[in-house]
Amino acid sequence: MSKLVILESPTKAKTVQKYLGPGYTVTACAGHLRDLPEKKLGIEIEHNFKPQYVNMKGKEEIIARLRQAAADSDGVLLATDPDREGEAISWHLATLLGLDDQKPIRVTFNEITKNCVTAGIKTPRGIDRQLVDAQQSRRALDRLVGYKLSPFLWKKVRRGLSAGRVQSVAVRLVVDREQEIEAFRPEEYWSLDAKFSVKGERKTFQAHYFGTADGTKQEVTNGEQANAILASLDGADYAVTKVKKGTRTRQPAPPFITSTLQQEASRKLNMTGQRTMRIAQELYEGVSVEGIGATGLITYMRTDSLRISDEARAEGMAYIRKAYGDAYLPDKQRVFRAASGAQDGHEAIRPTIPSLTPDQVKASLTAEQYKLYKLIWERFIAALMAPCLQNTVNVDITARDALFKASGFTVKFEGYTVLYEEGSDDEDEQAASLPAMKEGDALTLRELIPNQHFTKPPARYTEATLIEAFKQNGIGRPSTYAPTIATILSREYIVREKKSLMPTELGKVTTQLMKDLFSDIVDVKFTAGMEKNLDLVASGEKTYEKVMEAFYRPFAKTLAAAEESMQGKKVELNDTMTDEVCPNCGKPMVIKFGRFGKFMACSGYPECKTTKPIVTPAKGVCPMCGAQILQKKSTRGYKYFGCETAPKCDFMTWNEPTDQLCPQCGKTLFKKRGMLLCETEGCGYEQKAARKSRKTAGDNE
């Protein structure tokens, strides 16, 4: 007989089985097996908020299989993910299998490598009930808010809506930002931009008006003021009055944590947070690498710690020394400090084998896995490298009573920037190189142009900046960032316009209702305080019962007051007008929401009851009849593609059409899991899809 090891993921189970060998049987539970019931509250409010867990539907065969495997084994080790959620899954497994959860039955792996797995197996412990209680608190709080508030929103706004302890605050952030933008009033300002050249040279450089010659900064707020300065400089001589040279040191960004990984993947790879985490999970669980076999390529991807193990640091620095030389190693070992309140249970996200370069594993990975591994690997290696050194120069140029300034830099030593530079959501002006100048040099004015500007409103959130707002405000945990954004998008509280996130009318109306009636639920500080309470449960400083009691009693009173104040009332949504006109009466069509999502209806309802589905044209043409292909949505919300002439032509496919044509029959090619294939009956052509280049690669999810 052998010991039974239970993990969450079948993929990870295969990798761990390879490392542990014949003395162990490794299997997977495929996530949670027990949860609160679907169709009732499932929390005994009057009995210390005791959860009423039930076995999840569809998991009966897995539970039976695990019970039999446990009975046939020499012992059971629970190796679910190393976080609160994983701890709770192990506790539920212990309950289902009749195990004593305080005996040494729990093992964890921060990375799926042979050394880490074998070390973890040798150091089992009891289940951490404080971590389990922290997860139970989150689940119970979310259930209370969702179960009690969602029906209220159904009655007062629209059926099918949901409220959430974190998602409602997330929507509020987007709505509040939109209101800031709408309330913004631009202010005029002017710049005076000059182009100079050094005497005897034709090459020009740029400088900007700063203020008066004594160094007093002067804001130019209108055209009259700008023209007055121009008039005062008519025929003036320009000379260099100060040259200040220096050096600037730029340090690399720290290795990734969950939030920064999602932000950078959004900026550089155009990946959603949810997609980023799914691909990271694949890299963590293990892939088959040519020449190595199945191995996990990165450490655990749900972390807010910046800690790096001594072993990983040494391996990374050895790679830098070999690939770039000693000059690219820092003089002193760099230590990164995590934000206050960060949990230090795991390392930062890093490659498990720092010497394993992206090019070495490229052939073994999908295009998306390769891009994300490359991002993680480069960020980690760069974090260990020497800083970038820049020579800076700042020049003052004076003419009569006017002072202009110019600045620039040259790279003295590229350091970590030879490999990686952090992305940014801001388009900062890049300083240019300047010609050699010294004090007293006369300059030739080539051009002096006044430019009118207006202050800009705050930028809309992108997925990257919204995740940063979650982190800065203490809303949610790293594991909840991506699912929260995905939820409020799917519920149509917000929409994505290119990279920007904008609230819908539904999001605005619902948020205002929540502000009016449930101010705590959508209060950023209140939600952050609840997160701190969950951390205190995890550390044993508060109990599950006390946290639940402190939240629920005031919440129940607020809900009762809201029900009373809104009795007989309903919030009306403003219809979104479209450019289309009703084919029957000629009135504008508006967007409505129904049981299966959005559709268009005549604004003349109820006199005119015309409706139309909302369809999105897709690439390519129907391989059966040559008509336009449309992107459609099934009754369960899944995307598929079909012919615009349906039901006359019944062509449909789950595969995405492309703008490429089949070389055999000339019809549209469709994309499926990295393959291009022809769906024309009798053709059968297929080929591997070409990888996109780094510049054009993206994720339009």
> Sign of torsion, CA 324 291 5 301?
positive
Instruction: Classify residue 700 by its DSSP letter.
Output: -
Q: What gap in Å lies between CA 404 and CA 220, rounded to an integer?
A: 13
Q: What gap in Å lies between CA 280 and CA 379, rounded to an integer?
A: 15
> Sign of torsion, CA 491 495 498 500?
negative
Label residue 235 left, alpha or beta by phi (over 0 means left) and psi (-120 to 50 means alpha): left
Please count the other Cβ atoms lying within 10 Å of the Cβ belonging to residue 245: 9
| Coil, strand or helix at 686 | strand
Contacts of 319 (CB under 8 A, 6+ apart): 354, 355, 381
> Sign of torsion, CA 612 615 621 625?
negative
Q: What gap in Å lies between CA 450 and CA 14, rounded to an integer?
A: 67
Q: What gap in Å lies between CA 8 and CA 90, rounded to an integer?
A: 9
Are 350 and 285 in contact, with CB atoms under 8 Å apart?
Answer: no
What element of type H or E holds 46? none
Give the position of tokens 């921060």: 110
Please count the other Cβ atoms lying within 10 Å of the Cβ belonging to residue 542: 20
Q: Which of 19, 53, 300, 552 is catalytic?
A: 300
Q: Active-site residue 300, yes or no?
A: yes
Q: What gap in Å lies between CA 304 and CA 347, rounded to an integer?
A: 8
Q: What gap in Å lies between CA 630 and CA 639, rounded to an integer?
A: 10
Are 565 and 517 in contact, with CB atoms under 8 Å apart?
Answer: yes
Contacts of 289 (CB under 8 A, 6+ apart): 295, 297, 356, 361, 364
> Sign of torsion, CA 550 556 557 559?
positive
**N-to-C CA span, the chain:** 47
Question: Which residues are tagged catalytic?
Answer: 300
